[in-house]
A and B are shown apart, each in its own frame.
Chain A
Amino acid sequence: MIATETRQAISDLYANYAYYIDADRLEEWLDFFTPDCVYKIIPRENAAAGLPLSVMLCENRNMLRDRVVSLREANIYNLHVDRHFISGLRIEAPENGVYPVQANYAVYQTTAEGVSMLFSVGAYDDKVTFVNGVPRFKEKIVVIDTAAIINLLATPL
């Protein structure tokens, strides 16, 4: 049995995770990760075939931060708003205090001219740990079903 408060805290983590991306508050969003976190976006076709290649790979929070700085300062990408829909949160019993968590996601993008489209669908396969009583992502693996990425992938999923 996972305590209700734990369940609630993890569930809040996902709500906040989505909120901070969609609100374009990526600098604050970084705080949801542990310093040694892994953030990876991998196409399902690779994961299923046992191929290691991802589309985005950050091996710690500093690399994730570099991504965010690059988005702000260097990269040019489609002007858009993200909207995350996360559902079906499934929390497994912890191992050494680390909770395996799975969930489905859908991300819609809306252009500057107000046209929306489904941008990406997939699943999270995560590891959540508690730091000073607060849940943080130790591992965030985004397995994308939408392997054929429309235009480009800049903002995190």
Chain B
Amino acid sequence: MRNAPDLSFPRADLSRIPYGVYHDQETYEREQELIFRGPTWSYLGHEAELPNPGDFLTTYVGETPVILNRAQDGALHAFVNRCAHRGSVVRREVRGNARTHTCIYHQWSYNQAGDLTGIPFRNGVKGKGGLATDFDTACHGLRKLKVQSLKGVVFGSFAETPEPLLDYLDAPVVAHLERLMHSPIRVLGYQRQFIRGNWKLYTDNLRDPYHGGLLHMFQIAFGIARLSNRGGAMMDRRHRHNISYTAEGTDSPDGAKAYEQTARGQAKHQLADHSLLDMRHEWKDGLTLTIMSIFPNVVFQQIRNSLAIRQIRPKGLDAFELHWTYYGYQNDDDEMTKLRLRQANFAGPAGLISMEDGEAIELVHRATARDREAHSIVEMGGRGPIHDQDHLVTDVPMRGFWTYYCELMGFTPGSNM
């Protein structure tokens, strides 16, 4: 494979990213094939959303619409939400329960595994019309994905023989998923954010702990937390995924000092209502903020007691939807549920802590549309080999994302300059 004409990754350690990679249509088309329909596992949904036989939800893998369905026997199936006949969307609802899926256009119908089971007037009327007798319904089901669930989190892959899910995720990610999914969850609701920027600006944002205490100033302005808290970033062996973490209340005096150089660094405000800061320590590790990004399309958030799964749904080259599923545990008491609902104020499209991400991404997307051969600088935390970080002043995990991205896309970093 070749780099698109004006796209170059001049450094082998991925410390330079060409702006063009966020704006090139051909690259976007290839991402859909090579990444989302490639050897990766994408997040589809959570089993808690499909408790009963027949429950389904509509989701996306990249830009491809997908139905995730629990069959009568309890098994999970995922298949492309596009009719085999002439390509209509089959299921329009966001979720529901059904034994069959019938396309509205000519009423071809499919079972809970996506197999084609019904074709109206298949044999015509009075010997006229209909399909030829050799039409084989078995060859015209909805395209199926491999499905695997880990602690209730459902992943799907278009690959014939994908890497085993546990290998793909690797130990730190699996351990963190187990930490989050320690008991059955209950969905509290959804949020959606429509950001007018390329989806990879968001995966970058997630792997850049450096911006956390500089762009997002709510916690700093109100004296709640700082970049100088204990924190860091953990990765899998191939640096595809990333877990950024912080423990509050572990700040040091030079933290306050470092902020003296910034424009907005002083804690000069007090909350009028402190209940927003009420928190229960749920985990022994003391971590109060963990953001786990799994390549390519999902993020697991723990901000204090606010738990959410964020799915990235690309909507063309220039936009993506961020789809948030907030949850708690089935055995939460009412007070805990109240805490989680209140703390939902921290993140999401109106998040006190993180609303700025949407704006930052849109600003970068707008300003990089030209000068495609120019590059962004990814050197916080150093150049060269990628490894775990024990501080937050870093964007090293971004280079992990881009290493795997280039591998899948057939780009050879460091070769063009």
A26 to nearest B CB, angstroms? 14
Q: Which of B190, B268, B321 contacts A53 (CB 8 A)?
A: B190
A41 to B351 CA separation, bound complex (whole angstroms):
12
Q: Which of B195, B218, B273, B326 contacts A62 (CB 8 A)?
A: B273
A65 to B222 CA separation, bound complex (whole angstroms):
13
Write the B265-293 contact mask toward A (1 if CB under 8 angstroms, else 0): 00011011101100000000000000000
Q: A75-B352, A150-B194, A154-B350 are in contact. Are A43 and B359 (CB under 8 A)?
A: no
A85 within 8 A of B: no
Q: Which of A133-156 contact B (CB under 8 A)?
A: 147-154
Q: Which of B308-358 contact A (CB under 8 A)?
A: 321, 326, 337, 341-342, 344-345, 348-350, 352, 355-358
Q: Which of B192, B221, B359 contacts A149 (CB 8 A)?
A: B192
A153 to B356 CA separation, bound complex (whole angstroms):
10
B67 within 8 A of A: no
Are A57 and B342 closer than 8 Å at their CB atoms? yes
Q: Which of A49, A52, A60, A153 contacts B350 (CB 8 A)?
A: A153
**Nearest CB to that of A51 among chain B residues?**
B189
Q: Which of B215, B357, B362 contacts A78 (CB 8 A)?
A: B362
A51 to nearest B CB, angstroms? 4
Q: A65-B272, A69-B269, A76-B215 are in contact. Are A56 and B191 (CB under 8 A)?
A: no
A92 within 8 A of B: no
A102 to nearest B CB, angstroms? 22
A11 within 8 A of B: no
A87 within 8 A of B: no
Are B218 and A74 closer than 8 Å at their CB atoms? yes
Are A66 and B94 closer than 8 Å at their CB atoms? no
Are A55 and B341 closer than 8 Å at their CB atoms? no
With an 8 Å Cβ cutoff, the count of chain A residues facing the other chain is 35
B193 within 8 A of A: yes
**Which residues of chain A are near B357, meaning CB under 8 Å?**
152
Q: A52-B188, A76-B217 are in contact. Are A66 and B196 (CB under 8 A)?
A: no
Are B272 and A63 closer than 8 Å at their CB atoms? yes
**Which residues of chain A are near B195, meaning CB under 8 Å?**
151
A52 to B326 CA separation, bound complex (whole angstroms):
10
**Nearest CB to that of A78 among chain B residues?**
B359
A55 to B341 CA separation, bound complex (whole angstroms):
9
B205 to nearest A CB, angstroms? 13
B94 to nearest A CB, angstroms? 7
B187 within 8 A of A: yes
Q: Which of B193, B268, B352, B359 contacts A70 (CB 8 A)?
A: B352
**Which residues of chain B are near A66, meaning CB under 8 Å?**
271-273, 276
B220 within 8 A of A: yes
Are A73 and B359 closer than 8 Å at their CB atoms? no
Are B221 and A70 closer than 8 Å at their CB atoms? yes
Given pairs A43-B189, A57-B342, 4 additional interface contacts (CB within 8 A): A70-B221, A77-B355, A149-B194, A153-B349
For the complex of A and B, the 3 pairs showing the least CB-CB separation, nearest first, are A53-B189, A51-B189, A74-B221
Point out residues on B near A: beta carbons under 8 Å: 94, 187-196, 215, 217-218, 220-222, 264, 268-269, 271-273, 275-276, 321, 326, 337, 341-342, 344-345, 348-350, 352, 355-360, 362
In the complex, 27 of the A-B residue pairs with CB atoms within 8 angstroms, ordered by the A residue number, are A41-B350, A51-B187, A53-B326, A55-B191, A57-B341, A63-B275, A63-B276, A66-B272, A66-B273, A70-B222, A73-B269, A74-B218, A74-B352, A76-B359, A76-B360, A77-B355, A147-B191, A148-B192, A148-B194, A149-B192, A149-B350, A150-B196, A151-B193, A151-B195, A151-B362, A152-B349, A153-B355
